[in-house]
Amino acid sequence: MTVSITGATGFIGRRLVHKLLSDDHKVCILTRSASKAASVFPASTYPGLTIAQQGDWEACVRGSTAVVNLAGMPISTRWSPEIKQEIKQSRVNVTSKVVKYINHAGNADTRPSVFVSATAIGYYGASFVN
C-alpha cells in the first residue's frame, strides 16, 4: 500500500510514518518544507521514503492507495482573532488542495480509495460547575 501524508512531521504523523514503514508500506510525505521533513526522517534511516514539496504533491497523491491529512498549525498557543484565522486557514487550505488532487487523480487505478482527515488532538477532561 502507498500512503501520502500531510502533517507527517507532527505528533501523530511521525508515529504513523514509523508504523506504516515498519509494516512495509510505501509513504510519501506531502510537505511545505522538505528540509524539515528530511531532518525528521533522514534518508539514511528511512530508505524508500518519498518527501514531496508542494509542487510534487499531485504526483504523489495520484497512485496512492490512501491519503491521510494531518496538517495544520499547532493549537497550543493563545488564540487571538488573527491566530484563530491562521489555525482555520492552515487546515482549510491544505484539505482543499488535497481533495482537489484526489478528484483530479484520474481513474480508479490511480485515484486513492481512502481519505482520512484529522485536524487536532486534545483532551479536555471533566469540568464541574459549582
Checking DSSP bridges between strand 50-52 and strand 66-69, what pairing results, if any?
unpaired
pLDDT digits 0-9 by tens, 31-54: 999 999 999 999 899 887 999 998
pLDDT digits 0-9 by tens, 101-118: 999 998 888 899 999 999
Residue 15 belongs to what domain range?
2-117
CATH of the domain at 19: 3.40.50.720
Largest CA-CA distance found in the chain, in angstroms, rounded: 58
| CB of 4 closer than 8 Å to CB of 24 | no
pTM for this model (two decimals): 0.87
Q: How many domains does the chain have?
A: 1
| CB of 68 closer than 8 Å to CB of 14 | no
In a domain, 122, yes or no: no
In a domain, 125, yes or no: no
